[in-house]
């Protein structure tokens, strides 16, 4: 039996979305994880776009269906890989941070002895605010050859709106590309991460030359997290250990003291 666009929406699409809504309510008590729901959303979005491309769904029906997926919270996100960082920032997943020195790649050298963990400072510990939203220290780790700081913030509703708009623009561009329509590609595939868009520095009162040597990041609608690593390890008595963050204008937006775990 061949279904019309409206029949497919009524008999397949809307019942599937209703099932997702029920699953989300169950998830609130721990019964269902978010990943399977995202998979359902990806499949539904692909079907909607395919039916739109073949003319089974009108543009209005396709747009309304994608709006429904977005309101339900299972619209698939569009992500791109940056050649500069060589990392993929998938929502809910950690990605390595590539580090460069000048124009030459950093070549890892074998340490003389295996690094050892000397102390851990466990959060949560407030560090300050970014655009009126708290930044919280998750943990700080002191190793024999490095220092790690793990922190997070809630990116806020404005960031979520920008992400949704950017994803929608990318999906619209991809749809027009599939249909052979000439169109200008969106400038950015995703909205930037509030923490990743900042420049971070570690300082102490002994003017130790800390260099950023790695880390990872997690960015989503409700969580923006940075795990940053510096070398060398702080000296035995560094005095005040400070974490500084500056925005694209060079303005300091965070000046927080980080206790050294012992």
| C-alpha to C-alpha distances, 89 to 81, 156, 249, nearest whole angstrom | 8, 18, 24
Asked if residue 124 has a cis previous peptide bond (ω within 30° of 0), the answer is yes
Nearest partner of 153 among 169, 131, 171, 168, judged by Cα: 131
Distance between CA atoms of residues 61 and 9, nearest Å: 9
> What was the pLDDT predicted at 87?
34
> What was the pLDDT predicted at 38?
67
Higher pLDDT, 144 or 24: 144
Helix (H, G, I), strand (E, B) or coil at 176: helix
> What was the pLDDT predicted at 91?
34
- pLDDT tens, position by position, 89-111: 333 333 333 334 344 444 445 55
In this prediction, residues 40-49 reach a mean pLDDT of: 81
> What was the pLDDT predicted at 240?
84
> What was the pLDDT predicted at 42?
79
Higher pLDDT, 185 or 86: 185
Q: Which residues in 239-262 are b (16+ Cβ under 10 Å) and which e?
A: eebbbebeeeeeeebbebebebee
Kindly indicate the confidence band of residue 228, based on its pLDDT and cuts at 50, 70 and 90.
very high
Kindly indicate the confidence band of residue 256, based on its pLDDT and cuts at 50, 70 and 90.
very high
Average pLDDT, the chain: 75
Is 48:55 a contact under the CB 8 Å cutoff? no
Is 142:149 a contact under the CB 8 Å cutoff? no
Nearest partner of 259 among 151, 152, 153, 149, judged by Cα: 149
pTM above 0.75, yes or no: no
Strands of 115-191, DSSP E: 117-130, 133-143, 147-153
> What was the pLDDT predicted at 6?
85
């Amino acid at each position: 039996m061949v279904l019309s666009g409206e029949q497919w929406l009524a008999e397949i699409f809307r019942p599937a979305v209703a099932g997702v809504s029920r699953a989300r309510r169950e998830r609130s008590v721990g019964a269902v994880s978010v990943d399977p729901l995202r998979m359902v959303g990806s499949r539904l979005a692909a079907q909607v776009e395919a039916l739109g491309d073949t003319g089974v769904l009108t543009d209005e029906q396709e747009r309304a269906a994608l709006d429904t997926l977005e309101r339900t919270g299972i619209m698939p996100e569009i992500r791109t890989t940056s050649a500069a960082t060589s990392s993929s920032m998938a929502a809910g997943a950690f990605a390595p941070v590539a580090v460069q020195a000048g124009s030459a790649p950093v070549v890892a050298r074998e340490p003389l002895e295996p690094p050892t963990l000397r102390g851990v400072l466990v959060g949560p510990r407030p560090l300050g605010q970014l655009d009126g939203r708290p930044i919280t220290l998750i943990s700080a780790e002191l190793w024999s050859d490095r220092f790690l700081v793990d922190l997070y913030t809630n990116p806020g509703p404005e960031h979520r709106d920008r992400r949704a708009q950017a994803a929608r623009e990318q999906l619209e561009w991809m749809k027009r590309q599939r249909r052979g329509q000439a169109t200008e590609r969106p400038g950015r595939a995703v909205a930037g991460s509030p923490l990743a868009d900042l420049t971070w520095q570690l300082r102490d009162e002994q003017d130790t030359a800390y260099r950023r040597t790695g880390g990872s990041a997690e960015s989503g609608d409700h969580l923006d997290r940075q795990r940053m690593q510096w070398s060398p390890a702080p000296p035995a008595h560094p005095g005040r250990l400070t974490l500084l963050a500056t925005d694209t204008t060079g303005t300091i937006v965070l000046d927080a003291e980080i206790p050294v775990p012992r």
